[in-house]
Structure 1
């Protein structure tokens, strides 16, 4: 894992951001500065890589999640929007026009998770608008995909 710099991907599931998270957790568990150093270096590499994909698993949303997670756990001293602001705006723009039916549902849930984790950086009215549209879109997806099989109206009431 320490040779993670040889990894070509930058995302959460299969790339440098994911390896950074694993090494960061191991560094905390073992109180190991060497692992912490490499976790930080991998995160830096993931952040400077030019990525156009916004998905949670292998794109910007996953990298942003790792950065914010490490900031909130006080393992990285940084301002989220200062470092990731442009990418965050790009992700939110895509999320605000997202059509669930055109994408893998797992990616949809990842983006929804990203929206909720970073919602504090949005004005409340904009967050509510995007969240409402997203939930309506998910509800329509279930209605179209599982027509009559389940009562999807319950989903939006739970959330």
Structure 2
């Protein structure tokens, strides 16, 4: 994608600025940066970069936090640890390093069905719990929490779609659609077989009535779920989502993370090649200063969520997790 020289410049810049990052979490902290550095070390076969990654991740592991969440807390760090172990980027025993934290996370979330306010801000913990469940099949509590969160999300979204046409509806429809998109992404990531078919029908009905606009991302994940589960009757909706969703993309106003996230979805698309090529050209950029200018303002610019660590990891490995 970009030259090794530019990648090494990115590594140096990110490593230098990582010292000023206070968080230890995945999205905006040192564990997310270390994940990108580990992938880069493997790509370039560079032990010096690997040492930098290991040092940053060690800092994340030993730092105390009361945040159990995925984005900036314990669960995100646990996800990174499992990813590093399962992809043979480090040789370590998960229980030795993270056993106490794992138990604390499970206990914190095992009654989440009784705390709906927590559920709507904690749903991304499913990413951690899913890979943990694959690692430790014997703990039934893990899948129970996953199921409770999915059911809670489905209840919330079902109520929103039920009231969607009500003239007195006051909730942000953009927010609800973002939640539905996040829900679809989670279902696809986990290959969750017990997702709500009625929720999908409600969404399709609203879309068919012209009450919801096309979205490339929602169309992509709907298509993936439909294909995996051998479902029929949704092809027209998915095709329209992808076709018109692509037309709605304006590469000139996309931030770096948005361009990265879209690349995996549209790389095989036949339509609107000009827009796709424009996004790819931006991601082939060799100027570090121009790359930095594509990062969202007011965020941790070297971080994993929106910043340069996401870009670095993606350049090193096209299958880099974009969660």
1:20 Cα offset (Å) = 0.2
Structure-2-length-normalised TM-score: 0.44
Unaligned runs of 5+ in 1: none
SS in 2 for 1:75: coil
Aligned partner of 2:117 in structure 1 is: 102
2:93 to 62, 79, 83: 79
Specify whether residues 40 and 136 from structure 1 end up closer, same or farther in structure 2 by C-alpha distance, changes over 3 A only.
Answer: same
- Is contact 1:54–1:61 with CA below 8 Å preserved after alignment? yes
Q: Does 1:153 align with 2:196?
A: yes
Distance 1:104 1:97 in 2: 10
Aligned partner of 1:17 in structure 2 is: 31
Aligned partner of 1:136 in structure 2 is: 151
- Structure 1 or 2, whichever has the larger Rg, is 2
The CA RMSD measured in Å over matched residues stands at 2.6
- Is contact 2:31–2:60 with CA below 8 Å preserved after alignment? yes
Distance 1:86 1:145 in 2: 38
Q: Does 1:27 align with 2:41?
A: yes
Aligned partner of 1:63 in structure 2 is: 77
Distance 1:12 1:125 in 2: 26
1:73 Cα offset (Å) = 1.2
Larger mean Cα displacement after TM superposition, 126-135 or 41-50: 126-135
Distance 1:69 1:39 in 2: 14
More contact order relative to length (CA 8 Å, sep ≥ 6)? 2
